[in-house]
Structure 1
Amino acid sequence: MHTPIQYVDVHRVLCSGPGDLAGVQALVASGALRPADIVAVMGKTEGNGCVNDFTRDFATARWCDFLSPHLGCLPSEVGQRVALVMSGGTEGVLSPHFTVFSRRWVAAEPQHLGKRLVVGVAHTRDFLPEEIGRSAQIECTAVAVGEAMRDAGIAHAADVHFVQIKCPLLTSNKVDAALQRGAVPVTHDSYASMAYSRGASALGVALALGEIAAPVEEAATALLSDWSLYSARASASAGIELEANVVIVLGEAEGAASPYRIAHTVMRDAVDAASVRQMLHLALGMDADGASVLPGLVNLLAKAEASPDGRVRGLRHTMLNDSDIHATRHARAVVGAVLASVVGDTALYVSGGAEHQGPAGGGPVAAIVRVGPPGDAGVPVL
């Protein structure tokens, strides 16, 4: 009698728009994907990635409508069963797509040695407007990361390679509601609130993974000011479509049956392709020049940021001074092009706004690579 082991599958599915699930439906029809096994979806949608990017909400609603009958629940309940993270903004060469994670337990012994990909999810409670960007969000996120690690079967923080979070932002209605109750939000500016929410979420990850030792209150005081505090594995995306933090932990575990591996690195700045090449080569065994990446690469997951000091390698950039296009959009376009040049692929998950996610001006990058064929563990892919 074998102890059930975790089998994770990952599909990257291109789309013609935020509501296009034809590629996903084809996978289901072919038997390659079973909707009941889906635990998380990370989407790149083609909006502006700012406060009024409704492509995120539209994509989320389409996924909820699609999964509802398969999961036997209402569309409004799907978000509690499946972690749906939609990141807006596919500037430059980035191509819109969905990365779908499915998970099941199988009664088989893995046919490989070493660690393989596992995934875990968790949710925080809903946040009051005045809690966004403050210690409550940091603390709740840290707790949720621990819950997601346990859900994934990850015992050690060192085996966590990427933590994707979808977090809420402040709208004018939320700010007004807080003020009428006598509460003071961290900012009255909706766009600025995205940075506070992303930063607080990232510091929560850093605390959970032991990357910083600062107490929660101290971390909250340092938010958006002390850039020496950061997580090398956090990726946070803010949106209007939720009130809580959704947490997806991606890592590795011994005994997992998945035919995938995951590794991470940190880009020191927006043009640091060398770190990505080194990670692909050293951690995942790819050719140093990336020549053999395409056959096995499922996706690169990355954060992008316009350096807050206004410089890249000592030279001045103007991303922070552009009143027509927000800096987060510039950064996604730059990092998307740099990463695409490394792997020769443009359907990459690049999210803007890397406050406390990697060093100032840089950001975490993770690569998911298939290292075995379907049925790698002696179990057919359903």
Structure 2
Amino acid sequence: MPECLVFRVPTRHPADISGLDALIESGAVAPDEIVAVFGKTEGNGCVNDFTRPLAVMALEAALGARLGVSPATIGARVALVMSGGTEGGLSPHLLILARREGPAGEGKAAKGKALAVGTAFTDDFLPEEIGRMAQVRATAAAVRRAMAIAGLAEVSDVHFVQVKCPLLTSARIQEAAARGEGVATHDTYASMGLSRGASALGIGLALGEIPESALDDSVIGTRTDLYSGRASASAGIELMRNEIIVLGNAPGWSGPLRIAHRVMRDGIDFPAIQGALADLGFPGAGQLPPEAAERVLALLAKAEPSGNGLIRGRRHIMNDDSDINATRHARALVGGVAAAAIGRTDLFVSGGAEHQGPDGGGPVAVIGRVVA
């Protein structure tokens, strides 16, 4: 009977793997049990955020050395999702997810369902496929594979799907042009949003939230009414494929961990976060007390400034600031609201929520240790 383990460790810099080493040395987790790592790194979260590939390289090298395999072998089987940007009070950290196998009937079985994890990967995309229907369809297929690996037969049991997706660079655009192919955009920053959007629509397609008949290249990045309430996508320069992590509550898994989600209607939707906490049995009023906060293994959220420049009818300037990118403002805003609810700042808040929740909002999920 499998069990999903989740560990949260702080980082001193993007290449810091001391927390991972300490977990392995203590026997808390074996390196071959690790299936995915989420990370918040302190870069700018934009095209030239090289803290993300630096963290990936450090993790691949560390796990490869432990297992006696090449870093490339680790990269081929472990989903490494690094999200740049820890604006405001957000704390850089890693979330390490492992799958521990046990004989049937061994260990404490969950009452009903327990936290389950599944991962899958698409093939590498050609530059001209990024931000287009090829990426949507490939993502949907990979989500379904990850669900099957996790034993999540019902889409209603899926609570959060994280995707790491590629972006376009000038070199990638030129490579496509040399073959006579056009790309979705020549704006490399805009390509991040299109890639995230296509990935999110693929998640929505796989989970039955969006009908395939509503999808074509023209809706990607434009139809804000088409979205998934469980999708989170982060774009980076360090890959050309989509890496998918599906999290849900599944029968046949053991352990005390569960996941719940809600959809924030805007960046200050404190009640949505409290609702996800309440679904897991946490206190529903005010900030969690310290002992309850420590039972929260992870908070995962998306952040995006509204396109109309308003939050509940009042003007914000996130889209008008030429000095600080709007997604950086949004991460700081949502990070502050989430930290106020949880009572901690080591939270996975990712910017850029195209088709990931309603315009100006986004999904929020909480992984917690449930007390019987």
Q: Which of the five TM-score ranges fits, normalised by the shorter chain? A: over 0.9
Residue 57 of structure 2 corresponds to 61
- 1:336–1:176 Cα change, 3 Å: same
- d(CA) in 1 for partners of 2:58, 2:364: 28
Which deviates more from structure 2 when the two are superposed, residues 270-279 or residues 341-350? 270-279
Distance 1:343 1:299 in 2: 10
Amino acid at match of 2:121: H
Whole-Å separation in 1 of the counterparts to 2:129 and 2:213: 17
* 1:44 partnered with 2:44: no
The aligned runs of 1:333-372 (5 Å cut-off) are: 333-371=332-370
Higher mean C-alpha displacement, 116-125 vs 307-316:
307-316
Structure-2-length-normalised TM-score: 0.96
Aligned to 2:329: 330
Which is worse superposed, 238-247 or 249-258?
Answer: 249-258
Q: Which residue in the other structure is 1:181 paired with?
A: 179
Between the aligned partners of 2:109 and 2:349, the Cα distance in structure 1 is: 33
Counterpart residue number, 1:83 = 79
Give deviations 1:44-70, integer Å, cap 9, x for gaps: 000000000000000000000001133
**How far off is 1:291 after superposition?**
2.8
How far has the Cα of 1:109 moved from its partner?
A: 5.5
Q: Determine if contact 2:281/2:370 at 8 Å carries over to the other structure.
A: no
Task: Give 1:203 shift.
Answer: 0.0
Matched residue SS, 1:215:
helix
C-alpha contact 1:168 1:194 (8 A) present in aligned 2 = yes
Residue of structure 1 in register with 2:24 after alignment: 28
* Partner Cα distance (1:130, 1:291) in 2: 47
Q: State the TM-score, normalized to the length of structure 1.
A: 0.94
Once superposed, which parts of structure 1, at least 4 consecutive aligned residues long, lie more than 6 Å away?
none
Letter in 1 for 2:274: R
Aligned to 1:118: 116
Deviates more, 1:287-296 or 1:332-341: 287-296
Q: Report the residue type matching 1:272 in the other structure.
A: D
Matching of residue 190 in structure 1 with residue 224 in structure 2: no
**Which piece of structure 1 moves more, 357-366 or 111-120?**
111-120
Aligned residues: 367
Q: How do 1:240-319 residues align onto structure 2 when only pairs under 5 Å count?
A: 240-281=237-278, 283-289=279-285, 290-292=287-289, 293-319=292-318
Distance 1:239 1:109 in 2: 39
Q: 3-state SS of the aligned residue for 1:93?
A: coil
Structure 2 residue runs of 5 or longer lacking an equivalent are: none
Gaps of 5+ in 1: 374-382
Cα root mean square deviation, aligned = 1.3
Partner amino acid, structure 1, of 2:166: P
Mapped to 2, the partners of 1:101 and 1:64 lie a distance apart of 15
8 Å contact 1:110–1:256 — kept in the other structure?
no
Aligned with residue 209 of structure 1, among 207, 210, 223 = 207
Structure 2 residue corresponding to 1:18, chosen from 10, 14, 37: 14
Amino acid at match of 1:192: A
Q: Give CA-to-partner distance per residue, 1:113-161, whole Å, 9 cap, x none.
A: 1211000000001101110000000000000000000111110110000
Secondary structure, aligned partner of 2:222: coil
List per-residue Cα deviations over 1:262-287 (Å, max 9, x = no partner): 00001000000011112211x11111
The C-alpha deviation readout for 1:178-226, integer Å capped at 9, x for no partner, is 112111100001100000000000000000000011337x343211111
Q: Which residue identity does 1:77 align to in structure 2?
A: T
Percentage of matched positions with identical amino acids: 55
